[in-house]
Amino acid sequence: MKRHLLSIDDLTRQDIERILRRAESFAEVSGREIKKVPTLRGRTIVNLFYESSTRTNSSFELAAKRLSADLVSIKAQGSSVDKGESLKDTVQTLSAYDPAAIVFRSPNAGAAALVARWTSASVVNAGDGKHEHPTQALLDLYTLRRRTGSLEGLRVWIVGDVLHSRVARSGVLAFARMGCHVTVCGPPTLIPRGIEALGCEVSYTLDGLGDADVVYALRMQHERMSGGEIPSLREYAARYQIDGRRLGPSQLLMHPGPVNRGVELAAEVIDSPQALITQQVESGVVVRMAVLYELLAGQGGGTGGEQSQALTVSERTEPQPA
Amino acid sequence: MNRINLTAQAPEAGRLDRAPVPDATALIRGAYLLDPRAGLDGVGDILVRDGAVAEIGAPGTLEAPDGAELVEGEGLHAFPAFVDPHVHLRTPGREDEEDVDTGTRSAAAGGYCAVLAMPNTDPVVDSAPVLRSLRERARAEARIPTGFTAAITVGQNGERLTEMAELADAGAAAFTDDGLPVRSAGIMRQALRYQRLCGGVLALHEEDPTLSRNGVMHEGEVSAVLGLAGIPSVSESTMVARDCELARYEDGRIHVQHVSARETVEIIERAKAAGVQVTAEASPHHLLLTHDAVRSLDTHFKMNPPLRSEDDRQALIDGLRAGVLDCIATDHAPHSREEKEEPFEPAPMGVTGLETAFAALHTDLVLSGVVDLSLIVERMTAGGEPFGIVVPTLAKGAPANLCLVDLAAEWEVGESGYESRSANCAFGGRRLTGRVRMTVAAGAVAFRERSFAIEAVR
C-alpha cells in the first residue's frame, strides 16, 4: 500500500481486502467495554478540516483515540486559516509537530495530494471537493459486505446528485474494483459529461432500478448548486426519490448522510430493515481505524511498525488501558 | 490601417515603444538562413549595418566592416524574429509578477522582436493617461518594441465603450477586453461600428460566461473523473460564431485570441471563406498539451481557455497548417508562486510561455515530423500581422529583426531560472531541443545568451 490514501485509485483489490479484514478485527475491539488498543501510542495524528463535517470528523477522532494516538483537531474556522494563512504554511507549521498522519478535508479537488507534497506525514484524504472521499467508499464496502457476505457481481445503482458528489466518484471506483456492476442515475443536469470514464453506466431514469441489488442514494447538495441544475426539489423527488414503491423488498439501501428526508429518500425507506444507513455510520470508526493502522503500522510503516505488527488485534487477549 | 515597421525609429513613428539602444552592426557568418516569406532557405552570411540587413551572401563571402561584431553562426539557424501579439506584462499593478523590463527580456530570450501587452491590469488600460504612462515606461525599460492594447469597455466591465478614439490617438495597438469576453452582443456591435472612426483591431477573448460558469478545466471525461467544473468547447465556439456574424454585418475587423476548440477552428474557416475580416491565433500550450495533463491537478496546466481534448489539439494543428489560424501567440501570463501553490480550483488561470514557445513547438511538432520547421517560423513571425505590424524578414534592406537559434541544443526548462519574474511555465522541467542564442530586435541586439561568445573585429 502507498504511504498516503488520496484516492481509491491508490488501492489494489488486495489492499482493500486487507483493510476490510483489519476493520473486522477492530469491530471486535469496539464490542468490548474498553474500546482501546495501544497500536499508535505516542504517535500524533492531525485532523485538519477546511470544510464542515460531523460524521467523518468525529469518526476519525474516535478512530485515532481508540488506537491510542495523540490527536490534534483543527477546523478552518477559528484557526490561523481565518487570518489568511496559506494552506502550504498551515501544513508546514503542523508538520513541525512531526505527526504520523494528517487527515485532511478540503473544498478543493486535489488539495490532499498537494498537502502530501508538503509533509512527511501520511496523508488521508477525508474528502477533497467534488473529487474523492475514499474512506467513505471503504466503509460502504465494509458495511455492504457484512450484510451480503460477498461483493462480487452485485449490481449497484448510485442515484441522485452525481455532479457534486465525491462519494459517488470514490464509490464507483471502489465498487467496480471489488467486482460490482455500477450504474449512476440522476437528472441529466446532475450527471457530468464523460462520467462513464470512471467505469460505470449512466441512466437518466429509474426504469431499470428493479435489477439493482443495492440502491445507493446521494444527498442533494443544495449548498453546492449555483442554480439551474433542477427546476425544483418537488420535480426531483417525483422522478428520483427512493420510496417504498420504488425500493423492492430484496434490495438494500445505502446513503452517505446526512439525509434530506423527503427529497432523495422517503421516511419509510430510511427506517426500513433494508436500509444500511445506521450501519454505515457505525462502520466509520472501525474502517478509519483500519486505514490509519494500515498506513502507520501495517507493513512496517514508520516507527513502532514491527511492534504493532506483533500486536495484531486478534492475538491480543486484553486491551491495555492507555 | 497604418503599417508599423519594426525599425530603430519605431518608437517615434508608431505605436510601439522601447528603451533607446544603439543600432547593431554585426556580421553573422555561416548560419542557416530560413525565411519562408523571403524565400531564404540555405547557409549564408548576413551583414547587419546601422540596424538594417545590409547584405546577404554566400558563406564566407561577406567582410565585417570596422567595429562590427563578428558572430560565428556555423551550426545555428537564423530566422526572422518572432512577434507575440498576446502577452501579459502585469504592469501596472502586479509588478511583483512581471514588469516591462522582465517581460520584454523574457520575450527577447525567446527570440521575439516585438510584443503586444494586454490591458487587464490594475488599473485597466482604459484611458489615455494610463496608456501614455505605460508607453513612457516602455521607452525607459522595454528591451524590444512593445505595444499596449487598450480595453474595449470601461474597466472591462462589458457595459460602456472606452474612449476608443482618444486611445487610438494615444497609440493603442489594438482593443481587447482580454481575460474577459464582451458579454453583450449589443456592446460588441457598438465597438465594431465605432471601429470605423477609431480603427484598431478588436482582439477577442471568446467565452460565454453562462456556459463556462465556474469551470476550471475542459469539460470532458477528465473533468468528470476529477470532479472539477468543466468549461465546454461550445462556451468558446458559440461566441466566435456570434462575433463573426457581427463582424460580417458591420464589416468590422476582429481577431480571435487563443483558439482552443475544434468547433472554433471550423467556424473561423467558414467565416474566412465567406469574406469576414477575421484572424486568429493559437498558443503553444493548446497546440502541444491536452486535458490529460490536468489529471495531475498541477496548477501549471490551469489556464483559460483550458487545455482541451486530443481531437481539439489535432484540429488546431490542422488549422495552423491550413492558415485558418494565422499566427502563434503565447498568452504569456505570469503568476506569483504563492498563487499557483494553491489547490487547482482556487489557483489563478494562466501560464508563462515566451521563453519556451519556439523550443516546445520545435521539440514536439517539428522534430516529431508533424509540421515543417518553416511553418512554425512563419506562424511565430506573423504574430503582428493582424495588427498592422510588418512581418519581420531577413530580406536585404529590411530592419534587422532576427534570432539565432541552435536547433540541436538540449536544455531543461527552468534549470537556470527564467528571465521572466514568474516561473509558472507549463513546460517547466521538460527537456526541450532548440535554444535561442541571440535576438536582434528593430536593429539592436536585445538578447544574447550569456555563454554565447562573440568577438569584435579589431
Q: Is A221 near chain B, with CB under 8 Å? A: no
Chain A: give the shortest CA distance to residue B229, in Å. Answer: 9
Q: Do B219 and A194 touch (CB under 8 A)?
A: yes
Coil, helix or strand for B110? Answer: coil
Q: How buried is A30 (Cβ within 10 angstroms: 0-12 exposed, 13-18 middle, 19+ buried)?
A: middle
Residue type, position A304, single letter: G
For the segment A136-153, the average pLDDT, to the nearest whole number, is 97
CB A222 within 8 A of CB A232: no
Q: What is the pLDDT along chain B (458 residues), one digit of tens a residue?
A: 556 777 655 443 468 999 999 999 999 999 999 999 999 999 999 999 999 999 999 999 999 998 899 999 999 999 999 999 999 999 999 999 999 999 999 999 999 999 999 999 999 999 999 999 999 999 999 999 999 999 999 999 999 999 999 999 999 999 999 999 999 999 999 999 999 999 999 999 999 999 999 999 999 999 999 999 999 999 999 999 999 999 999 999 999 999 999 999 999 999 999 999 999 999 999 999 999 999 999 999 999 999 999 999 999 999 999 999 999 999 999 999 999 999 999 999 999 999 999 999 999 999 999 999 999 999 999 999 999 999 999 999 999 999 999 999 999 999 999 999 999 999 999 999 999 999 999 999 999 987 665 555 44
Which residues 47-66 of A are in CB contact (within 8 Å) with B? none
| CATH 3.20.20.140 residue window(s) in chain B | 79-387
pLDDT score at B16: 95
Q: Which of B190, B150, B181 is nearest to B166 (CA)?
A: B150
Q: With beta carbons under 8 A apart, name residues in chain A contacting B348.
A: none
Contact B118, B85 (CB under 8 A): no
Q: Does B341 touch chain A (CB under 8 A)?
A: yes
Collect all residues with Cβ–Cβ distance below 8 Å to A254 and sequence separation of at least 6. Answer: A140, A143, A144, A214, A215, A216, A217, A275, A276, A277, A280
Instruction: Give the closest of A87, A114, A166 to B227, CB-based.
Output: A166
* Interface mutation vs chain A, best among B226, B302, B310, B311, most A CBs within 10 Å: B226
Residues of A in contact with B213 (CB under 8 A): 226
d(CA B216, CA B348) in angstroms, rounded, equals 9
3-class secondary-structure state, position A38: coil
Q: Does A225 contact B at CB distance below 8 Å? A: no
Angle (CA) A300-A303-A309 rounded to 5° is: 40
pLDDT at B2: 59
**How far is it, in rounded angstroms, from Cα B144 to Cα B114?**
6
Using a CB-CB distance cutoff of 8 angstroms, which residues of chain A are in contact with residue B297? 109-110, 113-114
- The verdict on B269 touching A (C-beta cutoff 8 Å) is no
Determine the CATH number of domain A8-132+284-315.
Answer: 3.40.50.1370
Which residue in the set A86, A88, A131 is minimally distant from B227, CB to CB? Answer: A131
- pLDDT the model gives residue A59: 96
Separation between Cα atoms, residue B250 and residue A280, nearest integer Å = 64
Contact between chains at A86 and B345 (C-beta distance less than 8 A) = no
Q: Which among B214, B338, B343 has CB closest to A109?
A: B343
pLDDT over 90 at A196, yes or no:
yes
Model confidence at A301, pLDDT cuts 50, 70, 90, reads very low
Q: Quote the minimal CA–CA distance from A189 to chain B in Å.
A: 13
Query: If you count them, how many residues does chain B have?
Result: 458
Pairing relationship of beta strands B82-87 and B112-117 according to DSSP bridges: parallel
Residue B343 contacts A where some CB pair is shorter than 8 Å: yes
Omega before residue B92 within 30° of 0, cis: yes
For residue B95, what pLDDT is reported? 96
- Asked whether the beta carbons of residue B297 and residue A109 sit closer than 8 angstroms, the reply is yes
A197 to B221: CB separation less than 8 angstroms, yes or no: yes
Q: What is the mean pLDDT of chain A?
A: 90
| Mean pLDDT, rounded, for A190-211 | 96
pLDDT of residue A30: 82
Identify the CATH number of the domain defined by range B79-387. Answer: 3.20.20.140
Could you tell me if A88 lies within 8 Å of chain B, comparing CB atoms?
yes
What's residue B8's pLDDT? 53
pLDDT tens digits, one per residue of A174-185: 999 999 999 999
Q: State whether residue A43 sits within 8 Å of chain B by CB.
A: no
- The segment(s) of chain B belonging to CATH 2.30.40.10 are 10-78+398-456
Asked if B222 lies within 8 A of A194 by C-beta distance, the reply is: yes
Q: Rounded mean pLDDT of A21-30?
A: 92
- Residue range A100-125, pLDDT digits in tens: 999 999 999 999 999 999 999 999 99
Q: How far is B221 from chain A (nearest CA, A)?
A: 4
Are A197 and B338 inside 8 Å of each other by CB? Answer: no
Closest CB from A87, A129, A193 relative to B224: A193
CA distance A9 to A12: 8
Yes or no, beta carbons of A132 and B227 under 8 Å apart: yes
Nearest to B25 by CA among B54, B62, B5, B57: B54
Instruction: State CA B411 to chain mean position distance.
Output: 22
For range A198-221, the mean pLDDT:
96
What ipTM score was computed for the predicted complex, to two decimals?
0.87
Show Cβ contacts of residue A85 under 8 Å, excluding neighbours closer than 6 positions. Answer: A93
Q: What is the pTM of this model?
A: 0.91
CB contact under 8 A, A86 and B297: no
Mean pLDDT is lowest, of A63-72, A263-272, B6-15, B57-66, for: B6-15
- A169 reaches B (C-beta below 8 A): yes
Cβ contact (<8 Å) for A86 and B341? yes
Residue (of A44, A65, A32) closest to A322 by Cα position: A65
Distance from the Cα of A143 to chain B's closest Cα (Å) equals 25
- Beta strand A70-75 with A201-203 is unpaired
Q: Is the pLDDT of residue A20 over 80?
A: yes
Question: CB contact, 8 Å: A196 with chain B?
Answer: yes
B22: left (phi > 0), else alpha (psi -120 to 50), else beta? beta
CB contact under 8 A, A110 and B222: no
Write the DSSP assignment of B112-171 as a string of letters: EEEEEE-S-SSS-S-SHHHHHHHHHHHHHH-SS-EEE-B-SBGGG-SSSB--HHHHHHTT
| B203 neighbors B150 (Cβ within 8 angstroms) | no
- The answer on pLDDT for A226 being more than 90 is no
Q: Chain A: residue nearest B297 by CA?
A: A110
A108 → closest Cβ in B214, B232, B344: B344
CA–CA distance, A61 with A40 (Å, rounded to integer): 13
For residue B14, the model assigns a pLDDT of: 64
B15-44: pLDDT as tens digits: 899 999 999 999 999 999 999 999 999 999
Among all residues of chain B, which has the CA nearest to that of A106?
B343
> What local confidence, expressed as pLDDT, does residue A318 receive?
40
Which of A114, A132, A196 is facing B343, going by the closest CB pair? Answer: A114
How far B217 CA lies from chain A's nearest CA (Å)?
12
Q: Name which of B211, B222, B225 to mutate to probe chain A: the one with the most chain A Cβ atoms within 10 A of its Cβ.
A: B225
Confidence of residue A302 (pLDDT cuts 50, 70, 90): very low
A134-148 and A166-177 helices cross at what angle (nearest 10)?
50
Measured CA to CA, the distance from residue A109 to residue B229 in angstroms comes to 10
Contact B343 A169 (CB under 8 A): no
Question: What is the distance between the alpha carbons of residues B235 and A70, in angstroms, rounded to a whole number?
Answer: 50
Residues in chain A closer than 8 A to B231 (CB atoms) = none
Q: Does residue B226 belong to the interface with chain A, where contact is any CB pair within 8 Å? A: yes
**A19, pLDDT greater than 70:** yes
The reply to whether B225 touches chain A by the CB within 8 Å rule is: yes
Nearest residue of A to residue B343, measured between CA atoms: A111
Chain A residue with the nearest C-alpha to that of B231 = A193
Catalytic position from the list B177, B326, B331, B406: B331
Name the superfamily (CATH) of residues B10-78+398-456.
Urease, subunit C, domain 1 (2.30.40.10)
Rounded-to-integer distance, Cα B345 and Cα A48, Å: 19
Which of A113, A165, A197 shows the shortest C-beta gap to B297? A113
Is B310 in the A-facing interface, judged by CB distances under 8 Å?
no
Contact (CB<8Å) B227/A198:
no
* Domains of chain A, residue spans: 8-132+284-315, 134-279
**Would an 8 Å CB–CB cutoff place A197 in contact with chain B?**
yes
Q: For domain A134-279, is the CATH number 3.40.50.300?
A: no
Residue from the list B223, B344, B345 with its beta carbon closest to the beta carbon of A194: B223
The answer on pLDDT for A211 being more than 60 is yes
Closest chain B residue to A131, measured at CA: B227
Is B208 designated active site? no
A311, pLDDT greater than 60: no
- Classify residue B453 as exposed, middle or buried by CB count within 10 Å of its CB (0-12, 13-18, 19+): exposed
- Is residue B271 within 8 A of residue B280, CB to CB? The reply is no
| pLDDT at A316 > cutoff 50 | no
A168: nearest CA partner in chain B:
B227
